[in-house]
Structure 1
Amino acid sequence: MATHLDLEEQEQLDQLRHFWNTYGTLITWLVLLVAGAFMAWNGWQYFQRDKAARASVLYDEIERSAQAGDVARIERALADMKEKFAGTAYAQQAGLLAAKTLHEKGNADASRSALAWVAEHAVDPGYQAVAKLRLAAELLEAKSYDEALKQLAGNVPKEFEALVADRKGDIHLAQGKRDEAKAEYQKAWAAFGPGTDYRRLVEIKLNAVGVDPKSLESAAAGATPAKTKP
């Protein structure tokens, strides 16, 4: 004769079978999905670490080639970097380093090509802004003024706004547009913090276009609202 405890256990077993028959397939799929997602995440992390490690090795190759001044090796290594590791920070750094060395070696076209690639493909806005500023400087040197200004069009991170204004002023001055140059230098002067070396350089440029920086300081002081007494 079945005891009360046997009946309770049987009832619990029946409830468990009913629950599993109802939700078992769903639970199994959820477990498989979670396990699959976990494995995929681990695989992606491993892939990213491996990719970064291989990009690092190639960056070291570009760095050694730059130190040796081997232009051919730089161009080959940079081509490999762009093809295989374009989305990494190493690729952006490699493009800037290669451009600097290529420019120093007199290979202006290759240098501008490397900078243009970083300016277009860089994931980091800071690297992108640096590439545009350097490319604009090289185009200014080549007297390609309109192309230089195109590189500086659009938004840049706030910390680069003063540098962009200063570079635009240089380009306008080279074009003989003193008023435009003056306006950009004034923007740069206002954006740079007081006492910075770059601001002192901009002050020299302002003097060259007939603006006394002291007058800007007076105007800035006059625009500062006076503190009201409590």
Structure 2
Amino acid sequence: MAIDDLLDEHEQSERVLAWLRSNGAGLIGGIIVGLALILGWQWWGGKQAASDMRAGDDYQAMLKSLEAKDIKKAQSQAAALHDTPYAPLAVLDLAKAQVEAGQRDAAISTLRTAQSPNPVLEQVIKRRLARLLIDSGKAGEALKVLGNEDDPATLEVRGDAQVALGKREDARKSYTEVLAKLDVASPGRRLVELKLTDVGGSAAKPEARI
């Protein structure tokens, strides 16, 4: 190997060593930070999993309280679940038990506090609240709770609220829209047809969907 080549290699190695001396602390720091982030993420994931497991156990405990007809205890347990994924389910179960126990106003209060990031569960909560409001003579408030959603289940409850308010024409429109969205074989179709007939409408013969 030529002397020039040896000098070039020596010079390059010296440059690398000089660069490492200047930037080594930063590299090590970056590696440490990266490891800390990875370990921190794993720790947080493990902590979150453990928290979810505890919440699941707490939810099961609440259900046992409901089975034992201890609504007061279940109410306290449901409140403790408010920051967990089980919160909307706990609220729905609690409200159902309250209604069955003749505590309609308490069930309304329970459902008013319910929130869910899941849009499907959110609509279930709103429909149940709206039905209870209609039953308690607050059909106008029920309409506000339902908002502008136009899925069949919500439209049916909206029609019920409109009937309670004496708005039969609006109810006919709502029920007609429900039937237009329901499949021919839907188990709830016959009931909606009866509701439509009751407000002076007539259900068109549905066309089978292929």
Flag whether TM exceeds 0.5 (same fold).
Answer: yes
The CA distance in 2 between the partners of 1:189 and 1:201, in whole Å, is: 10
Matched, 1:99 2:89: no
Query: How many Å separate the matches in 2 of 1:205 and 1:161?
Result: 17
- Of the structure 1 ranges 6-15 and 103-112, higher mean CA displacement relative to structure 2 is found in 6-15
Deviations 1:36-59 (A, max 9, x none): 221221122112111111111110
Give the Cα–Cα distance (whole angstroms) in 1 for the partners of residues 141 and 179 of structure 2.
Answer: 24
Using the TM superposition, give the Cα deviation of residue 12 of structure 1 relative to its aligned residue in structure 2, in angstroms: 4.3
User: Which residue number corresponds to residue 73 of structure 1?
Assistant: 73
**Correspondent of 2:153 among 138, 163, 170:** 163
More off after superposition, 88-97 vs 3-12 = 3-12
Task: Say yes or no: does 1:148 pair with 2:142.
Answer: yes
CA contact (8 A) 2:108 2:132 kept: yes
The 2-side partners of 1:193 and 1:21 are apart by: 74
Distance 1:189 1:56 in 2: 39
Q: Which runs of 4+ in 1 moved over 6 A?
A: 3-6
- 1:32 to partner: Cα distance: 2.3
Counterpart amino acid of 1:13? S
In 2, the alpha carbon distance for the partners of 1:31 and 1:186 equals: 65
Corresponding residue of 2:16 = 16
Match of 2:187 among 183, 189, 197: 197
TM-score (norm 2): 0.88
Identity of counterpart residues, as a percentage? Answer: 29
Distance 2:13 2:176 in 1: 83
Partner of residue 225, structure 1: none
CA distance in 1, matches of 2:35, 2:79: 39
AA in 1 matched with 2:117: V
How far is 1:139 from its partner? 0.5
Structure 2: state its 5+ residue gaps. none
Q: Is the 8 A contact 1:55 1:91 kept in 2?
A: no
Deviation (angstroms), 1:101: 0.5
Give 1:91 deviation, angstroms.
1.4
Are residues 1:179 and 2:175 paired?
A: no
User: Which residue of 2 is the match for residue 114 of structure 1?
Assistant: 110
**Between 6-15 and 51-60, the greater mean CA deviation after superposition:** 6-15
Gaps of at least 5 residues in structure 1 are: 222-230
- SS, match of residue 89 in structure 1: coil
Alpha-carbon distance, 1:168 to partner: 0.4
* Structure 1 residue 140, shift from structure 2 partner: 0.6
Question: Which stretch shows the higher mean deviation, 125-134 or 193-202?
Answer: 193-202
TM-score by structure 1 length? 0.81
RMSD: 2.4
